[in-house]
A and B are shown apart, each in its own frame.
Chain A
């Protein structure tokens, strides 16, 4: 049976599933319900000088009837007094000593202010601190949040201030709204951070109401940029986690579009020790953790992984520069006509959108009939033309109807970098000029 206990920067979590700092961790009541549901830890909604929020605050993007493919918010940090938050943290830790409570903090960028806040958080019984250097909206304009996290020097400096004042682990939460996140992550590490968490939300505007021209989410017809998250951002977060994992020695808590155990396992494969969830809990409630625990355990049992360390980071080395990919590896598409429903989306996608390697249905090509005796329009892959791009398989609405199969090119593996090296070696050096 898989052991989901995780050691993270010196503290132990009963499982790798934490609620991220956000609306679900706003109050003791929510956090305790979450622990009862099975969450291993909770990063408290960011504590700082109480703010005033707008109405409305959230925006969503649906796709073909599926709700909240993407989500954004213009909500700020906790609107509750600092002492209320710390009193509640104390209460939660007293009742749930085994679950982790991590205090997310945001303070004006003064050394003494950080020192004071950090001590209060530690006194309240927090297991760790998360420094919110990532919030992209509202707070950043006041010199906090991502205003800190976008500048390596600030990140390093404030991290070091915090480390001066506390003995509990310090996690620095990173913003994706930078050109190179690893520069910030390395700065946090230099500042003494015990771990990093990433990513925070992406700057976004959710849309425009075409009748009123109010940007979304609308506050009396106006809006402001907010933080984008939800399933749509997962690929961005995976890339950033992998980049950071390649350069840092300290642990990573993965965040960004996680809603299922499979998502979590992917973050772990790219180096994350724990994961944090917010949007999915806002969408479906705390109960989603049940299958995250169950599914991950099952996956680990099926693969013989006794602990998360057994597979954590296994995919990191497979993330390479493009120049290190084998150019002689070849796959081509195959249509399994018995599964084909005849929509020809693969045909038009390849013809108009890719590389013209599929022939459309033609009456003579196949005799497949549907339940009403009508022709099923099965298209045909042109094996010689297919470049193996995946597009047809990606657009096909039927599971496993189009698969990609490897074909032997008869050539040994060869990357771009190898090719360039080989070519420069075989070419004669340029003639000196002026001979």
Chain B
């Protein structure tokens, strides 16, 4: 009900005038989505939290540069994307040493095991592919919004996403079907 009473654009307008409480309310609406997107992307809770804070700080400092408040979500995810890839580039040599491998789940897949299988399968994807899956499957963005966030053509968005889905299907579908569906 609270979300209908005050729209994001009203909070953005107030925050632009220096109203920190209005901005905190805006943060409380978006922090969980941003944190989970970053958590799956960088695979580390502390890093994900640090980048989430940095993302919201940068968003506050640059709120006046946001041309269209209706595009706030794509704009916010664009900042989070930049911050995350800045970190991923810095720690690249370290992560290249340990290539993740998909785990083999032997028995019947319980919900927790299925979640672990999904986490494991996501980690096998490249960062670009994983991010495409996160934005589409878990954040529900449309192809054109993803293109805006990632600053790439829609055709590239689809290519990354489709390759990722083929890889995930190859890993997850046989495991689920072999064990007689979702537990």
The answer to whether A binds B is no
Report which B residues bind A (CB closer than 8 A): none
